[in-house]
Structure 1
Amino acid sequence: MYIGSAIANLKTETTFDPCTTGITRGVPTFKSRHDLGKVLEAEGLHIGAELGVQKAHYSNSLLSDWASNREYHLVDIWAKLENYNDHANKEQSEQDRIYAEAMENVKSWKSNIHVCRNFTTNCVRNYEDDYFDFIYVDARHDFKGVLQDLQLWWPKLKQVGVWVWLDSTDHYSTYTQTFYCCKGGIFAGHDYVSQDDGPSSGGQDWTLNYDGTRDETRLVVKGAVDQFAASVCRQVTVSYREKAWNSWAIRK
C-alpha cells in the first residue's frame, strides 16, 4: 500500500471546550425584563421557575408573553427573614396577604403553576438536574444569598445543545473538530446593581448577608452575578432600557 494513502485516510477527533473556544451562544439582547417572555417563546422553551415571587406581578407579565409554557414553579418562603434589610421583608401577617395576592395574579395559568413555599435552598432539592429551561433568580439580594442561589440552581438548568462537526483536510489527514454549542437554558434576574447604585438611597442595606456578615465589596447582586458568570465562563447579557435597575441573563 502506498504510505501516502494510509496517511490520507487517518482521521482524528478533537473536542473543544466552549469555555476555551468561546462558541457558547449568549442570551439575545433585551430591552427590559418584561421582554424575556418573548425570548423564551421565540426559543420554544417550556419549563420555568421563579425564585423570589412576592406578589407575582412579574410572573404575570412573563407568562402573558410565554404561551408555550407548560410548567412554572413559584419558589418563595413568603415569610419574614433574619438578616435581610429589604423592603420586601414584611411581617408575617403581611406576607400571608402577599401570598394570597400572588396566587390571584397567576390564576389564569393555574394548570401550569406549582408552588414551593420554602427557602430556595430547600426547594432546590425537589428537582432533578437539567430540568428547567429558564430560572429567574430574584430572592435575596445580598452577595452571599444571590451567589448561593446561583450555585445551587445552576445544575437544575438544562444543558441543551447540538454537536457540530467541522471537517478540515490538509495534505495528509482529515481532522474532525467537535464543538458543543449553542442553546442551553437561561438564568436571569433583576437588580443588577451594587449597593451604592440604588439600594442605599431607598433605605435598603443589601450588604448584610444572610449569615450576618457584611459584604465589604458592596457589590451585592452585581458582584455575585459577575463572580458566578466568570466561574462558569459565561457572558452576562444586561438589559438596556429598564425603568429602574437593570436585569441580567446568562446562557448555560
Structure 2
Amino acid sequence: MLLWLLLHPPLSSQPSAEPTSPSSFEIPFKLQSPSSSSPDDYVYATFAVPASTTASQAVSLWLSSGALPPSTSPGQLSFFEDAVSSVLLARSSPLPHDACTAPPAHRIFSSPPPRALNLFLPALHEARGEPGGRRGEAGLSLRPAASMKHLPALAAQVSEGVPGKLWVEVGVLGGLFSRFILESMPGDVPKLVMVDLWDEVDIYSGGEGEGNFEKASRSVAPWAGRVDMRRGWSWEVAATLEDASASFVFVDAGHSFEDVSRDLEAYWGKVAVGGLMAGDDYVDGFVRDAGYTFGVKSAVDAFAARKKHRVYMTTNRDEETGEPLDDVHHQSWYILKCAE
C-alpha cells in the first residue's frame, strides 16, 4: 500500500494554481519510505478532506478517486477513518471540558506542518485492527514521551507551528538539563532563557547557589551565544518577558503547591498558543531529598482544570522495549497550550 501511494500520489498533492478552498483542508500522513531500509525514514502523503464530510465519506472518496487502492485492508481503512475523525473533532466540535478540541483552538490543527500533525496521529495506531479496540476515542492527543529527557525533542516538533519563539527553563540548578534542552532546540529559536535564583533557598546555602550558577555557566558554555541567564525569583523574571514570546517553557523551580501554582500563573501567558509547557516531579507528598512536601501534581492538575487543558505525563518506560527506566524517579508532566 505504501509503495502504491508513493507512486500514485493523491489528487491533493498535485500542484495547483488555485489556492486551497476554505471549504476543504488537507491531512498529511507519515508513511515509511520504501526506498530506505531504515524504519526511521519517512515520507508524507497528503489527502484532501471536504470540511463538510464525515470521516467514512472521506475515506470512501479516497477509494473511489484512486487515492487509496481497492486492496487497502480493513485495518488500514480504520486507521485513516480514525485519523480523519480526530482532525474533524479538533476543527469543529466544541467540547467545553477540553480547550484543544473547542473553537477557536481548532485553528491550531487547521493547517499544521506535517511533522507537527504526526505528533498526534500515532495515538490512533494502538487501536488500529485490534479486536475490541476502542477506536474514535483518542481525539487529537500528543504522543507519549518516555521521560523528562524526551520533552525538549517533543517541544521542538510541536514548536514547528510557532517558530522563532524563545525557550524558557525555570529552575536550572547546575545546568545539567539545560544541555538536553539546547541539544534539541531548533535553529530558529533565538534564545534559551535560564531562570534561577542561584542563592540561598530551600536546602541550598548561598554558597551552593553561587556554585550552581558557575556550574550552569560552564555547562552551557558551548551555546554561549544562545543562552540568557537570568538570576532572580522566577515570577519576577516572568514579568520581564513578553506575552506569547515562548514556544516551550519548562517549570522546575520551587515544588510546593504554592510555588508551582505561582509559576504556572506567571508563565502561562508567556507561552504562545500552540506551544508546550512542561515540568518535572509530577508528584505530591514529602520528598526526603528536598526536605519538604511537594505539591506539583495538585498544582498542575488544578491549574489545567481551570484552563480546560489536558495534562500528559511521561511513561517512564523505554519507547521500544516498554521496560521501566532506571534513571528517572518521578514522572514529568506536559501540556499543549491550545487557548488562553
Structure 2 length-normalised TM? 0.53
Q: Distance in 2 between matches of 1:138 and 1:192?
A: 10
Q: Distance in 2 between matches of 1:42 and 1:125?
A: 27
Q: Distance in 1 between matches of 2:234 and 2:156?
A: 26
Report the Cα offset of residue 73 of structure 1: 0.1
Partner of 1:251: 336
Report the Cα offset of residue 115 of structure 1: 1.5
Instruction: Provide the secondary structure at the position in 1 that maps to 2:167.
Output: strand
Q: Larger helix proportion, structure 1 or 2?
A: 2
Partner of 1:74: 194
Structure 1 contact 57–102 (Cα < 8 Å) conserved: yes
Q: Deviations over 1:132-177 (max 9, x none)?
A: 0000000000000000100111011101xxxxxxxxxxxxxxxxxx
Report the Cα offset of residue 93 of structure 1: 1.3
1:105 pairs, out of 200, 216, 219, with: 219
2:306 pairs, out of 207, 231, 234, with: 231
Structure 1 contact 26–235 (Cα < 8 Å) conserved: no
Q: What are the ranges of 5 or more consecutive residues in structure 1 without an aligned counterpart?
A: 1-14, 160-183, 208-219
1:138 pairs, out of 225, 229, 252, with: 252
Q: Distance in 1 between matches of 2:232 and 2:332?
A: 24
Change (3 A) 1:203 1:234: closer
Q: Distance in 2 between matches of 1:94 and 1:17?
A: 50
Instruction: Provide the secondary structure at the position in 2 that maps to 1:126.
Output: coil
Q: Deviations over 1:38-94 (max 9, x none)?
A: 21222325421011000010010121122433210001010112xx3xxxx311112
Structure 2 contact 196–234 (Cα < 8 Å) conserved: yes
The one-letter code matched in structure 2 to 1:155 is G
State whether structure 2 residue 295 is matched by structure 1 residue 205: no
CA RMSD of aligned residues (A): 2.0
Structure 1 contact 27–250 (Cα < 8 Å) conserved: no
Q: Distance in 2 between matches of 1:39 and 1:98?
A: 27
State whether structure 2 residue 275 is matched by structure 1 residue 185: yes
Structure 1 length-normalised TM? 0.71
State whether structure 2 residue 234 is matched by structure 1 residue 120: yes
State whether structure 2 residue 177 is matched by structure 1 residue 63: no
Which structure 1 residue ranges, 4+ long, deviate > 4 Å from structure 2? Answer: 15-18
Change (3 A) 1:80 1:203: closer
Percent identity between the aligned chains?
25
Q: Which has the higher contact order (CA 8 A, sep 6+)?
A: 1
Report the Cα offset of residue 251 of structure 1: 1.1
Report the Cα offset of residue 16 of structure 1: 6.9
Report the Cα offset of residue 26 of structure 1: 4.5
2:209 pairs, out of 88, 95, 112, with: 95
Q: Distance in 1 between matches of 2:181 and 2:268?
A: 20
State whether structure 2 residue 148 is matched by structure 1 residue 33: yes
Q: Distance in 1 between matches of 2:266 and 2:284?
A: 22
Partner of 1:217: none
Q: Distance in 2 between matches of 1:140 and 1:98?
A: 16
